[in-house]
Amino acid sequence: MVAFLRLLRILITALRYRLDELIPKDKLPLGLRVLLSFTIFLPASKLSRGERLRHFFEDLGPVFTKFGQLLSTRPDLVASDIASELDNLQDNVAPFDKDSCREIIESALGASVEELFAEFDRHPLASASVAQVHSAKLHNGDEVVVKVIRPGIEKTIEKDIKLLYTLAGLVERYAPEGKRLRPVEVVGDYEHTIFDELNLQREAANASQLRRNFTDSPLLYIPDVYWDYTRKNVMVMERIYGIPVTNLDELNAQNTNMKALAENGVEIFFRQVFDHNFFHADMHPGNIFVSREHPDKPQYLCVDMAIIGTLSQEDQYYMGRNLLAIFQRDYRLVAELHVQSGWVSSDTRVNEFESAIRTVCEPIFEKPLKEISFGLIVINLFQTARRFNMEVQPQLVLLQKTLLNIEGLGRQLYPELDLWQTAQPFLERWQQDRIHPRSIAEQLKRHGPEWLEQFPQIPDMLFASLDQARQIADIAPEIQKTIQQFQAPRARSRRRTAIGLLAFAGAVITALPSMGISVTELPIDSLALGGLALWLLISR
């Protein structure tokens, strides 16, 4: 009954924002078409389709809001105008009960709030769909924030995900591009992502790794994790004070070097992806601040490390070379790299793929570099590749979305940002470093012990393989002879069967006129019988 009422609310909310106008009625079952015909009495929506979806997700609560945010990270599946609008989804929801928050903290950490903290603000600093954050002070004087998972959120998520799967199935079946969008797969990705976010120990581990990667860096600061106070549903981190990255008035008031700030953001992205292979994949403005210190050499402060992206060594290598080839407008190399990486099928015609890439990219390159969106070029490249049966690569989708966020933020801070000027030298240096003797020595140092341990086994494995090859060669004539002996009686049997069937069919057809039946009145399965006999005869 609860599930039915929830589904009813979803349908009513969809009609309120006239999402039915976005679905072609001729694709729907007759009953549903009749039901939706009554929507002609509802006022038409004046909102864009992106705005309708944004309000739809916001009205349905935190789980759907989070799902909408995930959709905004899939520009490969969602139209750009919709993805852009869903980026504006607000994750601010009413805080949960103060007593419940206290009980969760005390149960998780095994002590009273007074024993744990010298000060604890019962009013949250922020409240989102999955968790809320409180300010506090430890007994040693350290200022911290306490993040607490919402009580009962897992059950709510499980119920809403079941409904999302139902809706996704309907979209996949009836929407014009339902199969291409793979909505069921998207819901599966969301299920994995949101349950990961419920584990604050995972987020704390991500934060610790990022902090270690940028130790003493003037570019980025990650707050410290207090592991003694961190559990699956409670996390305590160092409190940071900074200017929200979108507060341009305050940034300008302290004479922040906006050009350096924008370029630093680009460098942070490329360092995370290609130097560390561990990148913050949720870098929307709400998670990014700017230090008040050294405004002439601005430093980013970052929070909320629940979503992290990584690439395999192969994907990292091919992605880096692809981006560099795009900078150099070497479309042939881009096409070849897609085939070599396995992103598109090995039987793809490279010439055709190269031509398709050139057709998409050349008009874009007619603009001045500073006006070209590098992120959109990457999206267009992947969209072109999908025409050549490139499967969705979730890790690459996360990467391109992060690149779009960084580029958009950088140009908001400094409209003259030339991302190419920052990125191309970085990638050229990265490619040179990969083949530098120092890098090769590091690989030997890292994998050397493993290789040395396996080395003594190589002669035995080699001799075993040669022995197997000899054995196969010795019995090959016997295998061939057995196959021929097996095929001969089968061929004779099929010929006899075919001749018998043809004779039987001929006799039947000859007798039909005397029975008053025309050959043209024969049922299709009778004709198929004759065809089967003929096939058996000629396939001997």
What residues are labeled active site? 282
Separation CA 484–CA 491 (nearest Å): 10
Helix (H) or strand (E) holding 133: strand 131-137
Residue 117 near residue 136, CB atoms below 8 Å: yes
Could you say which DSSP state residue 269 is in? H
Reduce the DSSP state of residue 257 to 3 states and report it. coil
Separation CA 228–CA 226 (nearest Å): 6
Q: What is the DSSP string of 207-224?
A: HHHHHHHTTT-SSEE-PP
Separation CA 538–CA 498 (nearest Å): 9
Tokens of 476: 């090959």
Could you say which DSSP state residue 319 is in? H
Q: What is the DSSP string of 120-158?
A: E-SS-SEE-SSEEEEEEE-TTS-EEEEEEEPTTHHHHHH
Separation CA 10–CA 164 (nearest Å): 10
Separation CA 139–CA 46 (nearest Å): 55
* Angle formed at CA 287 by CA 94 and CA 376, multiple of 5 degrees: 115
Q: Give which of 354, 349, 242 is closest to 302, Cα–Cα.
A: 242
Task: Name residues whose C-beta falls within 8 Å of residue 179's C-beta, 6 or more positions apart in sequence.
Answer: 172
Sheet holding 220-221, edge to edge: 220-221, 300-302, 288-290, 243-244
Helix (H) or strand (E) holding 71: helix 62-72
Amino acid, single-letter form, for residue 363: P
Tokens of 133: 């954050």
- Packing angle of the helix pair 331-341, 313-327 (nearest 10 deg): 170
| Cα torsion through 11, 14, 20, 23, rounded to 10 | -90
In the block, tokens 């494995």 appear at 461
Task: Name residues whose C-beta falls within 8 Å of residue 12's C-beta, 6 or more positions apart in sequence.
Answer: none
Residue 300 near residue 287, CB atoms below 8 Å: no
